[in-house]
Amino acid sequence: MSYQIAIDGPAGAGKSTIAKRVAKKLDYIYVDTGAMYRAMALYFVKNKIDIYDELAVNEACQDIDIAIKYENDVQQVYLNGENVTAFLRTEEVGNTASVTSAYKKVREKLVELQRKLGKTNNVVMDGRDIGTHVLVDADVKVYLTASVEARAQRRYKELLEKNEECNLEDIKADIEDRDYRDMNREISPLRQAEDAILVDSSDMTIEEVTDKIIRLTKVRLTKTAGFCFGVKRAVDIAYENGKENTVYTLGPIIHNEEVVKDLEKNNVFTINTLEELDKIQKGATIIIRSHGVSRKIHQMLEEKGYNVIDATCPFVKKIHKIVDEESKSGATIVIIGNDGHPEVEGIKGWSNTDTFVVDSEESINKLSIDKQKKICIVSQTTFNYKKFEDLVEIFVKKGYNSSVRNTICNATEERQKEAKEIAKAVDAMIVIGSNSSSNTRKLYEICKSECDNTAYIQTCNDLDMSLYEESNSIGITAGASTPKNIIEEVHTNVRIKF
Ligand code: F3S
């Protein structure tokens, strides 16, 4: 997987100098935007495209591919597979680039190429909208700035060294004008991305800024931290519907007190019992959470006249369908999972025949199913894959006439796998999640087994940075019920204080 560092900031903050140094130190590719515009211009020159005919330029854009590589520490630019580095600095190419870079399509093409480079290489990019537009999912986003005074002084010194005539007050005024224009332009105005770390280089040396950015890369947030697809979808549905009216969820939509409290502030309330449900007036909106419910509960809600919104995860829905169809065709249903878990209860409720739940060899031994009869084995989505395979093997050995449907969702497995890998590679690990979340506890156990300095925190308030004074790298992960804002708050604070 590639690693992306986005550095944005106002003119004169030293972005390109810093970006090049960071790239060199980390052995990443510094994406030289200027060289890319020139490579595009070279294509137009070589193919005799009339650069004043914007339509012709637009059309030609689709045939351009650019790659940047480093060979013996020197940047090489490839245009459609050919090394064109030596041809980029000519007057003709420069003049062409200055005309064509103003075209919207050319800029769009450049963004497309930059994203492509960022996907396949470890990159450092600098500009004014890298973190907010080009690489919105960059691993590290930095907003590099310096006071107008500091930037003016730097420029002033530079010009004096070149023996150029200059005036400090004029330089300051120019910088202020430029900042204003950049921050107020219509397309991609300069602004700090919400998840960017502010680095003010006014009183820092180039070395210090470079080291600061490199240190930011030592804090690694797992990509799979937080809500899985199904939970995110259900929570989004709840917030969306709460905007219009008061709505209710059947059981907490997620095992996280912070989210449940926030949902209440947004008109979304939890119903925990059928008695509580009876107190809700007809016509009210009831949301079914991602675990899903049985057909009976579905029907009961509709018969009582509620407006039912089904936020069952599509992966769980698929199991309901399998169970319904297979049981209709006469198969006995076996669910490998934890009896009593709401998801398993829901799955059971879509079967039309005998249904059994097993989670161990002993529970399989206790089954009394006619071995001639067809059984259909499905799994609870969050069941351990290895254990599922072992239990299926037992059914096979016992000679059951079984059809096996692996319905395990790999979101949990992927999260655990990634957390384990990162925990192995860092000096300290932070696991974020509610005390009541079993998958967060499991994540904590996995990380702790790989990294002794692993802490379990619920929110940023529990963060104890004194634990990391001796650490050179920190990993962060979060359980499936931890909301994005809590993860981001912890991530930002760790990076600022580390
Ligand atoms: Fe999540 Fe749905 Fe998988 S709720 S864990 S994406 S089954």
* Ligand 1 atom index nearest CA of 381: 7
Task: Indicate which residue's Cα is closest to atom 3 of ligand 1.
Answer: 409
Is the CB of residue 230 below 6 angstroms from any atom belonging to ligand 1? Answer: yes
Backbone angles phi, psi at 288, to 5 degrees: -90, 125
The whole-number pLDDT of residue 383 equals 87
Q: pLDDT digit string (tens) for 412-456? A: 889 999 999 999 999 999 999 988 777 899 899 999 999 999 999
409 CA distance to ligand 1 centroid (A)? 6
Task: Indicate which residue's Cα is closest to atom 6 of ligand 1.
Answer: 230
Give the largest Cα separation in the chain, rounded: 97
DSSP letter at 75? Answer: E
Strand segments, DSSP code E, in 289-445 are: 307-310, 332-336, 355-358, 374-379, 401-404, 428-432
Angle at 74 between CA 205 and CA 210, to 5 degrees: 20
Q: In which residue ranges of the chain is pLDDT below 70?
A: none
Backbone angles phi, psi at 237, to 5 degrees: -60, -40
Is the CB of residue 250 below 6 angstroms from any atom belonging to ligand 1? Answer: no
The whole-number pLDDT of residue 427 equals 97
pTM of the model: 0.75
Residue whose C-alpha is closest to residue 114's, from 136, 92, 96: 136
> In terms of C-beta density within 10 A (0-12 exposed, 13-18 middle, 19 or more buried), how is residue 167 classed?
exposed
Integer Cα distance of 1 and 10 in angstroms: 30
* Ligand 1 atom index nearest CA of 314: 2
Backbone angles phi, psi at 176, to 5 degrees: -65, -40
Integer Cα distance of 322 and 377 in angstroms: 10
Q: Alpha helices of 185-313 — where are they, by DSSP H? A: 206-216, 229-242, 257-265, 274-278, 295-303
The whole-number pLDDT of residue 401 equals 93
| For the chain, the helix, strand and coil percentages under 3-state DSSP, each to the nearest 5 | 50, 20, 35
Q: pLDDT digit string (tens) for 64-104? A: 999 998 888 888 999 999 999 999 989 899 899 989 988 99
* Ligand 1 atom index nearest CA of 229: 6
Is the CB of residue 227 below 6 angstroms from any atom belonging to ligand 1? Answer: no
Residue carrying structure tokens 């696991």: 431
135 CA distance to ligand 1 centroid (A)? 27
DSSP 3-state assignment of 391?
helix
Integer Cα distance of 95 and 92 in angstroms: 5
Q: Is 345 a catalytic residue?
A: no
Is the CB of residue 313 below 6 angstroms from any atom belonging to ligand 1? Answer: yes
Residue whose C-alpha is closest to residue 64's, from 109, 121, 125: 109
Is the CB of residue 447 below 6 angstroms from any atom belonging to ligand 1? Answer: no
Residue carrying structure tokens 């981001």: 488
**Does an H or E element contain 394, and which?**
helix 385-397
- Catalytic hit among 71, 302, 343, 489: 343
408 CA distance to ligand 1 centroid (A)? 9
418 CA distance to ligand 1 centroid (A)? 17
DSSP letter at 300? Answer: H
Residue whose C-alpha is closest to residue 44's, from 100, 102, 87, 98: 100
